[in-house]
Homo-oligomer: A and B are copies of this chain.
Amino acid sequence: MTTAVTGSVAPARRLSSGLRPTAKVLPEHARAHNRSLVLQHLFHGGPTSRADLARATGLTRVTISDLVADLIEEGLVEELGVRPGQRVGKPAILVGMRTTAHQIVSVDLTDDAVLRGAVLTLAGDIVERRQCAVDGRAGDELIELLLRFTRSLLAAASAPVVGVGVGSPGIVDAAGTVLEAPNRRWYNVPLAAHLTGRLGLPVHVANDANIAALGEFTFGAASDTAVLVLTVGEGVGAGIVLDGARVRGHGDAAGELGHVTVVDHGRRCACGRTGCLETVLSVPALRRAIDGLDRQDSDAHLASVGRVLGIALAPVVSALNLAEIVVAGPADLLDGALCEAALDTIRERTMPVIGAGLALRMATLDEDVVLAGAAVLVLSGQLGVS
């Protein structure tokens, strides 16, 4: 008596690709989701007619009109007049996101010596850029400085600010608490909550290298499915985006690749161990190593570091079947022999299916990756857009 019960057992219609339904969904959540969906299309597709939005989202024109009316009321969207060009039927009215009507404030704490900040439009364009010397401050002092610096950025904004994004080194949990950032002497500092309280507007905090990946993913040319962004600066960090979601890891420490051992019997690292990736790949280490070398020797060294990087990344690429590795950092050091050797090494050390599907390129945003990423944090947290 083997009876198919397809009729009586309804197929599960999944909301996301995740396996476990974990929280209840109410009509209002559906509404918020669809609202974000519309915004998302306008964000990436530019000005569009309501009818096109309906076709793109699968919602009806009626619902789209309703959602767009809400968004217009909130000031996030505006009508841009009739679509140019002659077609049959009633001319479409274009609607577009008002990317300049609101702004975002971003702060990048990556650098030991200086706070970097910016005011950005919702499209990620930098309107105003500021810096502020750290002068050796750490712990609470640094928090105070950060607060003052952020206030000065808010004062520099020329439109309402939807939120503040902060990229910090160290391990940061989902709530924006810095669990540990030794160089800043921060341990269990609820930075996001503290700043939100003091500033009176939403503040999002995340790991700098992690959000660099978000920045590249949203504003760069990164693929949708599986990207790793490697940030090379004073240290080495990474961020991974899979199916549009940032990988956080069990203890919010995903992407901490700087202190993986890659060289047996290697140099001593600041962390106390030896042979960490940072001892060969960080900007200071690279500069030291090639200082005074001619082009050929310098390239040879960079290639050897690239090979070491490739050996370390090959298992990661295989395990995740990555589509793209993006490298952010000084192009004079990284773009060239180093990246080439890394990609070649990864291809040599992985299956053809894995290696062939992989691209490796330099980041498109240079020094502003983290600022852009912090903006994405705000965009996605406040507007559901990324």
> Which residues in A have some Cβ–Cβ distance to B below 8 Å?
1-6, 8-30, 32-37, 40, 57-59, 74-76, 102, 154-155, 157-162, 171, 180, 200-202, 214, 223, 225-226, 228, 238, 240-257, 259-261, 271, 312-316, 318-324, 348-351, 353-354, 357, 380-384, 386
Contacts and interface: CB of A to CB of B under 8 A. Distances in A.
B12 A383 contact: yes
A151 to B, nearest CB: 9
B21 A40 contact: yes
B223 A250 contact: yes
B20 A58 contact: no
Contacts of A22: 37, 244
B14 A155 contact: no
Nearest to A317: B260
B254 A320 contact: yes
A321 B24 contact: no
A121 B12 CA distance: 19
B15 A29 contact: yes
A319 B257 contact: yes
A75 B250 contact: no
A379 to B, nearest CB: 9
6 contacts: A2-B157, A12-B32, A15-B29, A24-B37, A252-B321, A260-B349
A229 to B, nearest CB: 11
A351 B9 contact: no
A253 B201 contact: no
B12 A384 contact: yes
Contacts of A58: 23-24
A286 B162 CA distance: 59
B257 A315 contact: yes
A26 B29 CA distance: 10
B314 A316 contact: no
A364 B318 CA distance: 25
Nearest to A245: B18
Contacts of A158: 1
